[in-house]
């Protein structure tokens, strides 16, 4: 797996929706690539923070916020893929 592949499947990995082979490839690459490891840790920490905060405040995030976060994450992902 290459860095661009990791960027493409990062959110699937964090969701636990990658197949077993791709998940192993992802973990193997991240263990050898400090940049991808850092990217994965940042996204994981951000995701966990948001899930905990919004679950405590709202139970679930309002739909408008979900849409804004989705757009922001897509823009962030596009920026990282350059």
Are 36 and 25 in contact, with CB atoms under 8 Å apart? no
- Could you tell me the residue range of the domain that residue 47 belongs to? 3-80
- Does residue 56 come out as left (phi exceeding 0), alpha (psi in the -120 to 50 range) or beta? alpha
In this model, does residue 30 exceed pLDDT 90? Answer: yes
The fraction of the chain above a pLDDT of 70, given in percent, is 90
Query: Model confidence over 63-81: pLDDT tens digits?
Result: 888 889 888 888 877 776 6
CA distance 47 to 65: 14
CA distance 13 to 64: 25
- Does residue 21 come out as left (phi exceeding 0), alpha (psi in the -120 to 50 range) or beta? alpha
This prediction has a pTM of 0.63
In this model, does residue 28 exceed pLDDT 90? Answer: yes
* Domain count within the chain: 1
Confidence of residue 58 (pLDDT cuts 50, 70, 90): low
């Amino acid at each position: 797996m290459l860095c661009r592949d990791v960027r493409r499947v990062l959110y699937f990995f964090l969701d636990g929706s990658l197949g077993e082979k791709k998940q192993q490839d992802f973990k193997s690459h991240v263990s050898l690539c400090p940049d991808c490891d850092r990217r994965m840790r940042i996204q994981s920490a951000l995701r966990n923070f948001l899930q905990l905060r919004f679950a405590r405040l709202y139970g679930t995030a309002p739909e408008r916020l979900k849409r804004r976060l989705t757009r922001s994450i897509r823009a962030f992902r596009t920026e990282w893929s350059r």
